[in-house]
Structure formats: C-alpha cells, structure tokens
Amino acid sequence: MTLAIKSRHIDMQYAVRTLLASKTLVSRSPVRGNVLFDAVDVKEWKRDFEPQMISFPELYAYHVRDVTLGAEYIAFDAQNVYVDTSIAVNISGNMDRAEFLVKKTEEIRYRETIDSFYENTVLIMHNEGGGTWGHFLAQNLPRALLFLKNFPYGKVVLPKAYAARNNSYGDAIAFFGIRPDQIITIEREKNYRFRETVIMDFLFYRAVPHPLALELLEAGLPPVITNPQRKTFIPRSSTVRLIENHEEIENALREKDFGVFYQKKHVSEQIETWRESNAVIGTLGSDLTNIVFGSPGTKLIVISPNWFGDRFFFELAAAKGMQWNEIRCGRGGQKIIEHSPEHHRNFFLNAHKFLNFVDSVITKP
C-alpha cells in the first residue's frame, strides 16, 4: 500500500475536528522607528509598516486515531503520514521531501515493534522549526497551552531533551505551567502508539502571530512595568550570524549605559530583563523571539545583516506594540565556512554609524 502524505489545511478538512477559535479580525499596526543602511552597497529592502487588517481563519484541532510515532517526529497510521509543521505544509508538492518521509516511515513500520502504547489524547509538540528557540517559544509552546486549555486531560508529547529543566525549553515549559504529569517524553530509537492524536492549526497566519498565541503567553508573565528604565544589549547566543567586531560594539554600548545580557539563563531572568527594558538591541535571529516577553512601547534596535531579513521577528514586534528600529549591515565577515548557508554568515557593523544611530533612537520621543 502506498502511503499518502497528509498536512494541515490541505488534507485534514475531512477529519473529525474541534473548533478552537472563530475567525478573528485584527488590526496590525507596526510602530515605525528609524531605519539605516550602514554601507552604500546594502540591497534595497522594505519593512511593511503600513497598517492593515488581518483576518485570521478559524482554528481547529483535528483528531486522528491510532497513530504511531517514530524517530521522535514521524507520525503515521496504516494509510497516511501526518505532517504537522508549517514549514512543510505544502509537502504534497515536494516529492523529495515526501519520498523521504514515506521511506522513513516504511523503515519504522518494518520493525513492527511498539515500545509504548498510550490511551491518552496527545499533541505532538515539537515538530515545528527544526528545534529552534524561535519556533518553540512563539509557535509550539502557545499551541501546547491552547491544547491543554481545551483538552485538560490530554498530554503533550516531546523528546526528553525538551522537557529537561537544564535548558530554556524545559525551563519555559515549567514556567508556563505545563506539569510533568501532562508530558510524555519520547526517545528517538523507540516507537509509540497513541489512541488519539490531535493535530492543531498553527497560531500564525501569513507570518503574523494569532492574538491567542500572545494572550496565552502573556497570561503566564508578570505584570507590565509602567516605566521601565533598563537599556539592554543582547549578544547573539548562536554560533552563526555573529558580529565580527562584537567586542568593539559591546564596549561602546557599555559606555552608553547598556547592560549586556546573555540569554542562556533561566527563563525567569530572560523575562525580567525584557520586562524591565525600555530599549533592547539585538541581532536579527532567535534571541529576538523573546520579544514576546516584552512590553508595548519598548524601543527595539535590530542589527540585520544584508542577507538575512526574516519577517518573523518584525511581526512579533508589531503585534506587541514595540517600536522597530533597524540597521542593515552590508559587509560580510571573514569567518565564513564555505559550505555554510548564506544566512549563517558573520558580518561587520560600522561602529561609528551604529552608535550615532543608537543615540538618535534613544533620544527620539
């Protein structure tokens, strides 16, 4: 029998489903700040600051019976492989990816071994975004919170590493109130079967976060501080897309009374830092997902290399009512691994232009 690939929105409309949220109309109004190019050769690009109304479609949970899960993320039954990630939502048109999933599924089925069976209704939480902090915090975690709100006796399925309290993932899960008894941890080498699996729509539409995603996260955060005073620089915690003259930039910002905060700390410290800051500087990338912890009116100063202009963080800032300021950098760094994707390249930041830019943003009402 040939397995079919089923993905959300495209193939799940005939499944048994539960309505989670009706259609929602939201006013999207980005707060325009300053934009600067630090070199003459920077490509022309634009952020869409124009206000617009976003019509979010209905949100559904789709119920699938007797699903097997293998290799931590491949979910299937006798007829179908179920794809639960926005990145591969058009998988039926991508034969290379589809063929890979079918082949992998057949390998798992060939073992004919189910290591654990659960009668629970479950959400497989971690499929989105290849394990990055951005997709986890802004997309997967709100879905898990929405799932448990609607299915209070359900359980969230995720790899052991995600549930561990020694990293930001497990830390965030615990901080936002998902209890250990609501989690089923899985291992890559084992196969699992669940009586009922819920596949949920994502809380994003055309890169814009659904208001429910932010409401669910905001409900777990401490109150907004009325007049925050901290100025914070957040160095990139990844090993790619780094500022090569980072030390020069960091020292100069310290002289301007910016505190330096490395985000590989307890989630409560990350939240406190964002809550207490009225200005935050960071490189475009996963660290800026913590925008969801911040407060309306915060001035963001975003450092963006010319070859990476991800819209995801801009839309988070717009939804949170933060002012978006951006400096676009055009000079690539020397520390480039030849086979690395372009968007991983390091870059230089023109310190003189940048520091003048920071002054203009901070002093502007």
pLDDT, tens digit, 9 for 90 and up, residues 21-76: 999 999 999 999 998 887 665 566 678 999 999 999 999 998 999 998 888 888 88
Tokens found for residue 169: 């993932």
Of 173-182, 211-220, 333-342, the least confident: 333-342
Cβ pair 278, 297 in contact under 8 A: yes
* 262 band by pLDDT with thresholds 50, 70 and 90: confident
DSSP line for 111-143: H---SEEEEEEEEE---GGGG-HHHIIIIIHHH
- For residue 8, pLDDT beyond 70: no
Decide which of 196, 218, 240 is a domain's last residue.
218
Cβ pair 108, 71 in contact under 8 A: yes
In the chain, the number of structural domains is 2
Q: Which residue has the higher pLDDT, 226 or 9?
A: 226
Pair 79, 209 in one domain: yes
Mean pLDDT of 331-353: 70
pLDDT at 332: 66
- For residue 164, pLDDT beyond 90: no
Cβ pair 121, 115 in contact under 8 A: no
d(CA 106, CA 2): 10
pLDDT at 6: 59
Range of the domain at 193: 4-22+58-218
pLDDT at 137: 92
Decide which of 172, 200, 218 is a domain's last residue.
218
pLDDT at 90: 38
- Residues contacting 172, CB < 8 A, separation 6+: 136, 137, 141, 267
- For residue 337, pLDDT beyond 90: no
Q: Which residue has the higher pLDDT, 2 or 209?
A: 209
Pair 103, 128 in one domain: yes
Pair 18, 163 in one domain: yes
Pair 208, 120 in one domain: yes
* 334 band by pLDDT with thresholds 50, 70 and 90: low
Pair 120, 39 in one domain: no
SS3 state of residue 197: strand
- For residue 92, pLDDT beyond 60: no
Pair 97, 49 in one domain: no
Pair 125, 72 in one domain: yes
% of the chain residues with pLDDT over 70: 85
Q: Which amino acid is at 208?
A: V
Pair 76, 209 in one domain: yes
Separate counts of helices (H) and strands (E) for the chain: 10, 21
pLDDT at 227: 85
Pair 50, 62 in one domain: no
Cα angle: 253, vertex 225, 300; to 5 degrees: 40
Average pLDDT of the chain is 85
**Based on C-alpha coordinates, what's the Rg of the chain?**
22
Pair 161, 227 in one domain: no
DSSP line for 319-358: HHT-EEEEEEE-EEPS---TTS-GGG--EE--HHHHHHHH
d(CA 145, CA 158): 14
Mean pLDDT of 329-343: 61
Pair 228, 212 in one domain: no
- For residue 5, pLDDT beyond 60: no
pTM of the model: 0.89
Nearest to 59 by CA among 10, 23, 93: 23
Of 15-19, 253-257, 275-279, 304-308, the least confident: 304-308
Cβ pair 249, 276 in contact under 8 A: no
- Residues contacting 241, CB < 8 A, separation 6+: 283, 284, 285, 305, 308, 343, 344, 345, 346, 347
- For residue 207, pLDDT beyond 70: yes
% of the chain residues with pLDDT over 90: 49
> How many CA atoms, within 13 angstroms, populate the side-chain half-sphere of residue 144?
30
Pair 240, 166 in one domain: no
- Residues contacting 31, CB < 8 A, separation 6+: 317, 318, 321, 322, 323, 324
Q: Write the CATH number for 352.
A: 3.40.50
Decide which of 168, 195, 218 is a domain's last residue.
218
* 93 band by pLDDT with thresholds 50, 70 and 90: very low
- For residue 222, pLDDT beyond 80: yes
